Structure 1
């Protein structure tokens, strides 16, 4: 029998075995929610109506609880047990858990190795901590994108695929910060940023049917093209080399020539050049630069465009908020003469509270997958999970919990994030701040290091849009978001933009 036939037979036998087996649950494990069909388990209920299904499971079985999904047992933590996962990052591996369902790491590692800890530090120190340096450049590039893609809208105009539009708008300021102002002028690089984000997102939606056999088989087929030398982002690497290699070589030449007199440029490209201290720009060096820079590109564009789009739908469907937020933005615009500084962005308290409420309201039903890498873990309630167990955070249990937000937790109320005192002092909890009640950006050591930069960028973009346009949904009502593969995405409906001055 040929080797290929033997492998196919083994896969078939393994498939049958795994499809008919029942999961083995230890006596002291979190309760496994009962299910009717041995093969399907909870897969249909979980995929069909994730939010309501998880809510019913939590109400009946407490937390943490386990589900049998796509042939595997997954444990879900609620508001009380989630902090245990987020603060114990040494035994709950976030990157391993994420890569099982979204193997972006495998795609990037085909070029070079990835150091996630190092990259998180770089983003925090070189991006989030330097927001004041980037503010004017962000504003310029955002205005360019708004003019290009929305225009004057003298007559009301309907725009669809809002997230796709904002991916294209956000790509240019991201290129400016990451690659520098020289590279940000190349239109094909900007297009590449948008396309690579879209192509990597497709990995999230690879059919989950192979999970019924084994998680590794799903990952195998999701990354199968890599094994034959085809990578979905290879052409973007080639374009990066074509456009950026001459710039990199020139910067290295200037460094050698000027020595200590060289003034480092404020972009991530120059930071990585200074860190490497290399004189030869070979393929290995370009691959490393490409991976380090483009994983930040993907995270920046994907998250920011999604959150801006969700916020716009939240804003456009709630006319009772329009005047209050508009007046704050107009006041800041007049005081700054239209040129925003970081201090001006920090004054956008009402917009910031609106944004935080939008983040909360559009929280993913469940996410932040972690894999337990220690021999076992016992939660504070006494239940124990074994090594290798995938643990998901039931995020909506935190976002809509009455413990934090009272009886109005299901209502959209931006002012809940503001505390007013009798002496007129106002304190608000910023949209980028993480605590037990707000985990949109994760938590613990693996909290999103770029969240401060992202929030500033989103606020600046919304500020310009709100001042320039009247924005409303087509039917004049609130358009609820969509849930795909556990993630929340904006509605596919259009938004109507109309110039305020006509």
Structure 2
């Protein structure tokens, strides 16, 4: 799903070469830099692009991806020319393409820069590295919580049917009306956030930083907030140890009707960060995950196996927790399935 939004359906289809390239690049990008630091002294890092197999593979993936994206970038430029000629750009009319290739082209053009295939590849691979594992990991946490709280599944399905009857095509507005699902997703992120131990990491670049209570943090020191303690604070979340699917839905009343949705950042949850450094892709993740569960919940039933219940649902990984990707789950097709447009 990330690939389809990032590069469009012509390259991002299932089992496409782009899928293989992007996943291979992400795997190399997450492992090769650490290997370089363990293998070479800092003054030899620059040689890694020539001698380290992981770094060399990253360059190889990047070159091939540039070859695939060059014609796509050409079609986007041609589309922009047509839209300008027809006046659609000035009037806000529908655009031919809505994906990251188009967005990055528009962003570079707004700064008077020419977007090259190589620069496009660099930007897209950064987006893929940031989005693939976080989105899939968060979705798996939500799936585990749905299995553990079957009483919420029927209500979410009823909401999906009701919203789809009013919106035959799943637009962002339609997805925004899935408030019960949204509240469930946010509660799952409170109880089982990937950033369960720390969040809102910062480096003091100009200091020392002095807080109102006199606490001093020297320059070049790193700070972070304890995410788990914040999420389980009873003063912040009454009855914090209980999974409450409607907890965040109840908050969305009056002036707060547009707050406390899954991608919101604020004082109650800090998993997406805070302030102007909050995760810029959180809205993309929100829509992607909702589309996934519209399809999964309407098309399938899920439950743990007896053997699966013997294994841990979540695994600690440094300052993160990850849902156990090896846990077996039983999946059964339902009689009614929905098509996600």
The gaps in structure 1 that reach 5 residues or longer are: 1-169, 211-216
Identify the match of residue 261 of structure 1 among 49, 72, 85. Answer: 85
Q: Structure 2 length normalisation: TM-score?
A: 0.78
**Residues 471 and 421 (structure 1 numbering): CA distance in 2 closer, same or farther, change over 3 Å?**
closer
**Residues 182 and 431 (structure 1 numbering): CA distance in 2 closer, same or farther, change over 3 Å?**
same
Q: Specify the alignment match of 1:341 in structure 2.
A: 171
Identify the match of residue 465 of structure 1 among 296, 303, 312. Answer: 296
**Residues 421 and 333 (structure 1 numbering): CA distance in 2 closer, same or farther, change over 3 Å?**
closer
Number of positions where the alignment pairs a residue of Structure 1 with one of Structure 2 = 314
Q: How many Å apart are 1:456 and its aligned residue?
A: 1.5
Counterpart secondary structure, 2:184? helix
Q: How many Å apart are 1:192 and its aligned residue?
A: 2.0
| 1:12-62 superposed Cα distances (whole Å, 9 cap, x missing partner) | xxxxxxxxxxxxxxxxxxxxxxxxxxxxxxxxxxxxxxxxxxxxxxxxxxx
Q: Specify the alignment match of 1:496 in structure 2.
A: 330
Identify the match of residue 325 of structure 1 among 148, 156, 163. Answer: 156
Q: How many Å apart are 1:329 and its aligned residue?
A: 2.3
Question: What root-mean-square deviation, in Å, do the aligned CA atoms of Structure 1 and Structure 2 show?
Answer: 3.6
Q: How many Å apart are 1:256 and its aligned residue?
A: 9.9
Q: Matches of 2:328 and 2:316 in 1, distance apart?
A: 17
The reply to whether residue 393 of structure 1 matches residue 205 of structure 2 is: no
Counterpart secondary structure, 1:392? strand
Counterpart secondary structure, 2:296? helix
The reply to whether residue 190 of structure 1 matches residue 19 of structure 2 is: yes
Q: Is the 8 A contact 2:199 2:270 kept in 1?
A: no
Q: Specify the alignment match of 1:234 in structure 2.
A: 59
Q: Matches of 1:316 and 1:221 in 2, distance apart?
A: 50
Q: Matches of 1:493 and 1:226 in 2, distance apart?
A: 37
Identify the match of residue 30 of structure 2 among 187, 194, 201. Answer: 201
Q: Is the 8 A contact 1:203 1:222 kept in 2?
A: no
Counterpart secondary structure, 2:236? helix
Q: How many Å apart are 1:470 and its aligned residue?
A: 0.8
Q: Matches of 1:436 and 1:218 in 2, distance apart?
A: 42
Q: Matches of 1:345 and 1:204 in 2, distance apart?
A: 38
Q: How many Å apart are 1:348 and its aligned residue?
A: 1.1
Q: Is the 8 A contact 1:367 1:486 kept in 2?
A: no
Deviates more, 1:310-319 or 1:177-186: 177-186
Q: How many Å apart are 1:438 and its aligned residue?
A: 0.7
Q: Matches of 2:299 and 2:80 in 1, distance apart?
A: 47
| 1:239-275 superposed Cα distances (whole Å, 9 cap, x missing partner) | 21221223334555x4798694276633332343453
**Residues 222 and 431 (structure 1 numbering): CA distance in 2 closer, same or farther, change over 3 Å?**
farther
Counterpart secondary structure, 1:381? coil
Q: Matches of 1:266 and 1:365 in 2, distance apart?
A: 36
Q: Matches of 1:301 and 1:402 in 2, distance apart?
A: 33
Q: Specify the alignment match of 2:72 in structure 1.
A: 247
Q: Specify the alignment match of 1:429 in structure 2.
A: 260
Q: How many Å apart are 1:409 and its aligned residue?
A: 0.5
Q: How many Å apart are 1:471 and its aligned residue?
A: 0.6
Identify the match of residue 8 of structure 2 among 168, 177, 180. Answer: 180
Q: Specify the alignment match of 1:301 in structure 2.
A: 132
Q: Specify the alignment match of 1:440 in structure 2.
A: 271
Higher relative contact order (CA 8 A, sep 6+): 1
Q: Which has the larger radius of gyration?
A: 1
Q: Matches of 2:192 and 2:222 in 1, distance apart?
A: 24
Q: Matches of 2:185 and 2:48 in 1, distance apart?
A: 39
Q: How many Å apart are 1:312 and its aligned residue?
A: 0.4
Identify the match of residue 313 of structure 1 among 144, 151, 155. Answer: 144
Q: Is the 8 A contact 2:36 2:48 kept in 1?
A: no
The gaps in structure 2 that reach 5 residues or longer are: 87-94, 337-341
Q: How many Å apart are 1:330 and its aligned residue?
A: 3.1
Q: Is the 8 A contact 1:419 1:427 kept in 2?
A: no
Q: Structure 1 length normalisation: TM-score?
A: 0.55
| 1:41-88 superposed Cα distances (whole Å, 9 cap, x missing partner) | xxxxxxxxxxxxxxxxxxxxxxxxxxxxxxxxxxxxxxxxxxxxxxxx
Q: Matches of 1:296 and 1:446 in 2, distance apart?
A: 16
Q: Matches of 2:215 and 2:80 in 1, distance apart?
A: 60
Q: Matches of 1:379 and 1:428 in 2, distance apart?
A: 28
Q: Is the 8 A contact 2:204 2:220 kept in 1?
A: yes
**Residues 313 and 250 (structure 1 numbering): CA distance in 2 closer, same or farther, change over 3 Å?**
closer
